[in-house]
Amino acid sequence: RQRQMCIRDSFNDRGQKQQESNLTNREQDIVNGLVDGLSYKLIADRLDISIDTVRAHIRNIYKKLHVNSKAEVIAKSLRGEL
């Protein structure tokens, strides 16, 4: 988990052009959980919300980022495109 956070941080620190994201703070928390390799259940436990709420946030994230998979969300996050 720590290693993944360092990877994410190193991408952001390189001064890459970052796009403005319309993600809410909670949606960003969900993305961070995905990047950390957590399951929906573990994300729900970490954030003290239901798994159905996680799924609803995931649907909103996919729509806002114009993606269709968890892998695409993670890739965009690691590239600093959020």
Write down the pLDDT at residue 82.
Answer: 86
Question: Is residue 5 a contact partner of residue 36, using CB atoms and an 8 Å limit?
Answer: yes
Cα dihedral across residues 35, 40, 42, 48: positive or negative: positive
50/8: higher pLDDT: 50
How would residue 8 be classed by pLDDT, with cut points 50, 70 and 90?
A: low
Write down the pLDDT at residue 6.
Answer: 47
CA distance linking residue 19 with residue 40, whole number of Å: 26
Q: Mind listing the pLDDT tens digit for each residue in 16-70?
A: 444 556 999 999 999 999 999 999 999 999 999 999 999 999 999 999 999 999 9
CA distance linking residue 11 with residue 15, whole number of Å: 8
